[in-house]
Chains A and B, each alone.
Chain A
Amino acid sequence: MSEEQVTAIAALGDATRRQVYQVVVGHGGVLSRDEVAAQLGIGRTLAAFHLDKLVEAGLLETSFARGPHGGRPAKLYCRSGAEVAVSLPPRSYVDAAELLAEAVEKAGADHTLHRVARKRGLALKQPDMWEALRERGYEPFADGGVTKLRNCPFHALAQEFPPLVCGMNLALLKGMAEGSGWPVEPKMAPQAGQCCVVLEDK
């Protein structure tokens, strides 16, 4: 457990700050202080205070954009690329998962993994698609007739073993959609900064 990890988690201990974090993360793109303040119905100074604390903790990052009328550029906030995981007592599931993924790849057993994932998905049976996707950290959002997923719950592994792990994810979501009767068709549609799977309306 490092100093940074504790700082990051501790920064979310304050209820208002946690709401500020959720507003920024839920938005997907960048947000200004004013937008965050307006969404939560709190003062601009208070929003700024919490936003900057979240930046200090490494959970958000900032950029600057010039406004339409010139003048001082606005400070904008979005989620940082940092991953924070704390486990007490220490557990290293990602390390174990990397070894397992490498072994599956070496064994050429992709299809076994994909079958297992599909079966797991089929068994979940959760009729509320949005709730199920949110619970699993996918951060779904609607984009026309497509439900896109802002977050990849398997990001670190998917970066290392894309065909294997993205294929696993697709099989899992296909199983979930089929088993729970969601009116969507999960498809592979990789895009930078998002989960590689989208759910197209049937």
Chain B
Amino acid sequence: MNLAQLNIARLRFPLDGPELKDFVDALPEINGLGDASPGFVWRLQDDSGDATGVANPFGEGVIINLTVWESVEALREFIYRSPHLDYMRRRREWFDHNGIEAHLVLWWVPEGHTPTVDEAAERLAHLEKHGSTEHAFTLREPYPAA
């Protein structure tokens, strides 16, 4: 099994404005770092090379990040033990979570399966409603692959 991950964030400012410049400038580096991380499998992207322009059902100004990993540990290594952490530290400069109950959800998918945005939205809604369960869980309360 592989681990699918969705996180959503509401932009505080327009993506092409000066406030988001550091974030937007870092995207190629950080995405490249993720792609090269041990245990990385797949990430959602369009022709631009990232997912900031991908339509989603989470509301106005919300951007998404949808990825697949070999394990929870591989994902943790990338997000918490690489230069990615320094950008995460600054998340509140760029995003707010007002009205977003859960912003990150994890679930297990069969190898070779590419998760869709709709599928991810269903998992996020499940997490919001039921808390961390094996159907949809969080990094703080992960579930092993069935």
User: Are both chains from one complex?
Assistant: yes
Pairwise interchain contact A188-B92, C-beta atoms closer than 8 A:
no
Q: Is A122 positioned at the interface, with any CB of B under 8 Å from its CB?
A: no
Q: Is B122 positioned at the interface, with any CB of A under 8 Å from its CB?
A: no
Could you say which of B81, B92, B97 contacts A190, with CB atoms under 8 Å apart? Answer: B81
Considering the chains assembled together, what is the distance between the CA atoms of A163 and B139 in angstroms?
Answer: 13
Q: Which 10 pairs from chain A and chain B are nearest by CB?
A: A167-B89, A163-B88, A188-B86, A162-B80, A190-B81, A110-B92, A190-B85, A163-B89, A108-B97, A111-B92
Pairwise interchain contact B96-A170, C-beta atoms closer than 8 A:
no
7 more contacts with CB within 8 A, not counting A163-B89, A188-B83, are A108-B98, A111-B93, A162-B79, A167-B90, A188-B89, A190-B85, A196-B85
Q: Is A25 positioned at the interface, with any CB of B under 8 Å from its CB?
A: no
Closest to A105 in B: B97
Pairwise interchain contact B85-A110, C-beta atoms closer than 8 A:
no
Considering the chains assembled together, what is the distance between the CA atoms of A160 and B96 in angstroms?
Answer: 20
17 contacts between A and B (CB under 8 A): A108-B98, A110-B92, A162-B85, A162-B88, A163-B88, A163-B89, A163-B91, A166-B85, A166-B89, A167-B89, A170-B89, A187-B86, A188-B86, A188-B89, A191-B81, A192-B77, A196-B85
Contacts between the two chains (Cβ within 8 Å), count: 37
Q: Mark A94-108, 1 if CB is under 8 A from B, else 0.
A: 000000000000001
B interface with A by C-beta (< 8 Å): 77, 79-83, 85-86, 88-93, 96-98, 140
State which size class the interface on A falls in.
10 to 19
Considering the chains assembled together, what is the distance between the CA atoms of A170 and B90 in angstroms?
Answer: 12
Given A108-B96, A160-B140, CB of A190 within 8 Å of CB of B80: yes
B82 to chain A, nearest CB (A): 7
The residues of B that contact A166 with a CB separation of less than 8 Å are: 85, 89
Closest to A111 in B: B92
The residues of A that contact B79 with a CB separation of less than 8 Å are: 162
The residues of B that contact A187 with a CB separation of less than 8 Å are: 86
